[in-house]
Structure 1
Amino acid sequence: MANADGRSAARLAAVQALYQMEVTEKGLNETCAEFESFWIGNEIEGERYKAAEIEFFRDIMKGVIANQGPLDRLIDKTLVEGWPLARIDSVIRAILRAGAYELKQRSDIPARVSIKEYVDVAGAFFGREEAGMVNAVLDGLARRFRAEEFEPRI
């Protein structure tokens, strides 16, 4: 069974790494190596970064990068008209991409768990409005990818 704290830390690290890749234009391998050796599980400037489930971190990173174009188009279709993904804050973009990948490709993780985790990541960086927007977009994607998980139970 997966370690929930390790998975949560992996999601947060993946969002931070995806953001860093966009800002610095570093490649996937370089960014993953930096996070795995320098950030994840280490103490930096008095802050202790949680140990993350490394394989899960790598899966999110590789999955988002390999599927970024299709994921971005799916996210664009779910966003409110007039607000394409390109107009969204880069950290929120990273959150939505990681969440969309997980919802689309990781059916072993319940959709509601993935949504809650990424809403929590958004809440760590932003206020309620942004976290609510992340919730709405990921919920819309989850209902498209995994409608069966949202059918009423009888």
Structure 2
Amino acid sequence: MSAGSKTPKVGGPRSAARLAAVQALYQLDMSDEPKAKMVVEEYVNHRLGQEIEGDQYVAADANLFSDVVLGAWERREEIDGTLTSCLSSDWPLDRLEKLIHAIFRAGGYELVARPDVPTAVIINEYVDVAHGFYERTEASFVNGVLDRFAKAVRT
């Protein structure tokens, strides 16, 4: 979309919440002093559904956004432990790009803590997020790892 365009971003409020959650988790991971509640408040009050650099973003589901960010951040050690077992031995956790890691944490949190959301929906949503930043190879990687993660945590 070109700068100055007023066309809303594609996707519904829940998709927008997931995208924003990945961005917030990335921000927390890059911060020297991460404070998840402050980041959530910043996004809810100043970013979700706002016009940023000429683009109007879809209003995100603030409750889902907050749940995913705070839950994934609080449970990041647990999620990373499961994630480690889903990666191949030649691809350790510290080799992941920070953004891919944020996608895995958000998706992993939903797979662990949101049994009300079907597995296929969670995986598809986070593969879509990956497509927004990466080429097909990385999105396929996200799909495969989240599928293994789901098999490890859901019956």
Q: TM-score, normalised by structure 1?
A: 0.90
Alignment partners' CA distance in 2, 1:146 and 1:30: 31
Match of 1:128 among 123, 133, 136: 136
Letter in 2 for 1:139: D
Match of 2:145 among 132, 137, 140: 137
Q: 2: distance between equivalents of 1:133 and 1:24?
A: 26
**1:33-87 Cα shifts (integer Å, max 9, x gaps):** 1111111100011011211111111110111111110100100110111212211
CA distance in 1 between counterparts of 2:154 and 2:79 reads: 15
Give distance in 2, aligned partners of 1:129 and 1:99: 18
Aligned counterpart in structure 2 of residue 8 of structure 1, from 15, 25, 29: 15
Match of 1:49 in 2: 57
The percent identity for this pair of structures is: 44
Residue 93 of structure 1, aligned match among 101, 117, 134: 101
1:7-43 residue CA offsets vs partner (Å, 9 max, x unmatched): 1111000000000111123311111111111111000
Query: Which has the larger share of helix?
Result: 1
SS in 2 for 1:113: helix
Q: Which runs of at least 4 in structure 1 moved beyond 6 Å after TM superposition? A: none
Report which structure shows greater RCO (CA 8 Å, sep ≥6): 2
CA RMSD after TM alignment: 1.1
Instruction: State the SS of the aligned residue for 1:81.
Output: coil
Counterpart of 1:151 in structure 2 is none
Cross-structure match for 1:23: 30
Deviation of the 1:130 alpha carbon: 0.5
1:103 equivalenced with 2:111 (yes/no): yes
Distance 1:59 1:102 in 2: 9
Q: 1:123 is matched by which residue type in structure 2?
A: H
TM-score w.r.t. structure 2 length? 0.89
1:40 to 27, 40, 48: 48
After TM superposition, list the pairs within 5 Å mapping 1:46-85 onto structure 2.
46-85=54-93
